[in-house]
């Protein structure tokens, strides 16, 4: 987690939010969750974009560093405005779901129990 002093809340608040989410992940015997609702991504990371009609996701593993999947054009927003250090951008002509699958494999989550938001746009 990048410690920043230019976000809506102090870094400790985002750490608290992620830790509470991880408690719920553990209670459900999951290894990670995929957050794709724009409001929930903002709540957890302070990430804001007008491009929310394109797929975006925050993957929060139980123990490893969270990472984001976004459009390549939006990666600079993640870098400049959130605490998230790991991103996997996809081009507008690319396959966002394949990027998510590839990232889950890359970060050792391919054969793990992964939760997701059922009521999200995606």
Crossing angle between the packed helical segments 38-45 and 11-27, to the nearest 10 degrees? 120
Task: Give the architecture (CATH level 2) of 11-116.
Answer: 3-Layer(aba) Sandwich (3.40)
* Total-model pTM: 0.93
Distances (CA, A) of 21 to 32, 88, 90: 10, 22, 26
Q: What confidence category does residue 116 fall into, taking pLDDT thresholds of 50, 70 and 90? A: very high
Tens digit of each residue's pLDDT (9 = 90 or more) over 24-65: 999 999 999 999 999 999 999 999 887 778 899 999 999 999
Q: E-strand spans in the chain? A: 32-35, 57-61, 67-71, 86-90, 114-116
């Amino acid at each position: 987690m990048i410690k920043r002093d230019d976000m809506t809340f102090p870094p400790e608040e985002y750490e608290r939010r992620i830790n509470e989410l991880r408690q719920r992940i553990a209670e459900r015997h999951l290894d990670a969750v995929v957050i794709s609702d724009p409001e929930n991504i903002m709540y957890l990371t302070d990430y804001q974009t007008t491009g929310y009609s394109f797929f975006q996701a925050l993957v929060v593993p139980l123990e490893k560093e969270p990472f984001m999947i976004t459009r390549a054009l939006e990666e600079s927003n993640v870098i400049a405005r959130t605490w998230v250090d790991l991103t996997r951008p996809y081009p507008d002509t690319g396959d966002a779901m394949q990027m998510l699958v590839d990232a889950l494999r890359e970060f050792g989550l391919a054969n793990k129990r992964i939760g997701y938001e059922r009521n999200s746009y995606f």
